[in-house]
Amino acid sequence: MLSHCSAADMLGLRITETVAEITVPHGVRRRSNPLVQTHQSNRRTSIVYRSGLPCTPVARTVIDVACTLRRRNDVRALVSDSVQRGLTTFAALAREAELAPRHNPMLLRSALEEVAAGARSAGEAEFRRLVRLAGLPEPELNAKVVAGQRSYTVDALWRDCRVIVEIDGMANHSRIDQWEADLRRQNALHAAGYLVIRFPVRRLFSDPEGVIAELRTVLLRMAS
């Protein structure tokens, strides 16, 4: 048997597992129970070792664990974080999703689509979803912008009308030096002719209508 072990500890994934995750050989039937979640390997499943224990690779582990999650943001966070931190690649995740013995659940398919579009976090993925539902033009995610002598990566960019949206998590401004660097960055973008508006992640969920209303007003004004 291959073990997912504690994915958070053994493979570096930022998740909290409440059950043991075990992959059994292809063709072997083992039922899951409240303490153990079993997955069946495909014929091409490889093995990696962590602390001497056989484990499935990161991409396969992400797909199997994602299939057990029930909340959209948990799936988003798992998938996007594993790619952003270089633990795996989108191509590897997509390949494992296709090879998985079970049908890909809707939340996993959605998360993979969001990562393919450039989302690096659950907040960015939710923002993209709100923009699409509102029928607004879809932005470039994590786009490169040149301001003065520097190049910056911004969360969302409408290049034609020079509008930038930054999605702020609580950790973004937890340090004074980071906060000051963000202000200098925003000033440089303003000086280069971009309008920068910011939304805290939690507002995307608590006030989505207000977020879209403000964004729509800005896009209309800057496009005119």
Domains, the chain, in order of start with CATH, read 2-116 (no CATH), 123-223 (3.40.960.10)
What's the chain's average pLDDT? 81
Arithmetic mean of pLDDT, 30-42: 59
Residue with token string 């059994």:
24
- The pLDDT, as a whole number, for residue 106 is 86
pLDDT per residue as tens digits for the range 72-81: 888 888 888 8
Quick check: pTM over 0.75?
A: no
Higher pLDDT pick, 178 / 157: 157
- The pLDDT, as a whole number, for residue 105 is 80
pLDDT at 180 over 90: no
| Burial profile 158-194: b = 16 or more Cβ within 10 angstroms, e = fewer | beebbbbbbbbeeeeeeeeeeeeeeeebbebbeeeeb
- The pLDDT, as a whole number, for residue 159 is 96
Position 5 confidence tier, pLDDT thresholds 50, 70, 90:
very low
- The pLDDT, as a whole number, for residue 212 is 97
Cα separation, 134 vs 212, in Å, equals: 7
- The pLDDT, as a whole number, for residue 31 is 65
- The pLDDT, as a whole number, for residue 6 is 45
Position 2 confidence tier, pLDDT thresholds 50, 70, 90:
very low
Backbone dihedral angles phi then psi of residue 154, each to the nearest 5 degrees: -110, 155
**Sequence letter at residue 154:** V
pLDDT per residue as tens digits for the range 103-146: 568 888 888 888 888 888 888 989 999 999 999 999 999 999 99
Arithmetic mean of pLDDT, 182-205: 94
Cα separation, 156 vs 160, in Å, equals: 13
